Amino acid sequence: MRNFYLYNNRVEIVKNDGSVFTIYFNGNSGKVYFRYKIGTFSNVKHSGIFLGVDTWGTGYFLHNHYHFGKAHITTETEFKKGQPIHIYNEMCSNAPLKVIEIGLNEILRGESYKPITYNCQTYTNTACHNKRKSYDAEKWLGGIALASLAFIFIGAVAGKGR
């Protein structure tokens, strides 16, 4: 994506080859959805922002994924990967059009995907709440830190008994 032009009912995406692709908004545009990550043993949520549909009715999402390496626009089918999707229950701090604008600007910015500091949740929370935050990454880091402290404590207690 080279650029975009945002209107109340659509966005015109200027592709890298200079052609223009139009995506039309509907009642779900700007809402954050998630599916559970595939191949994990926990309930890690992979989030994305519903953008809208093209003239043929194909749905599009904005999301950040390690396979692509940075935030991008993808089809609903590609976002879902055969999994059911769910809407996040929390309301965004930003209005739907602002969520889309921030999400598209993040794509233009081109920051590389980083599992802890710029993942799918960080991307959607930036657009939705103006905060770089990943609840699942924080949860995992907190669990690792707690487990580490427990091992240190157990090691110290076991060492005193000798």
The string of pLDDT tens digits covering residues 92-148 is 999 999 999 999 999 999 999 998 899 999 999 999 999 987 765 444 444 433 334
Verdict on whether the full-model pTM lies above 0.85: no
DSSP letters for 26-48: -TTTT-EEEEEPTT-SS--EEEE
Q: 44 pLDDT band (50/70/90 cuts)?
A: confident
72, 107 Cβ separation under 8 angstroms: yes
Average model confidence (pLDDT) across the chain: 86
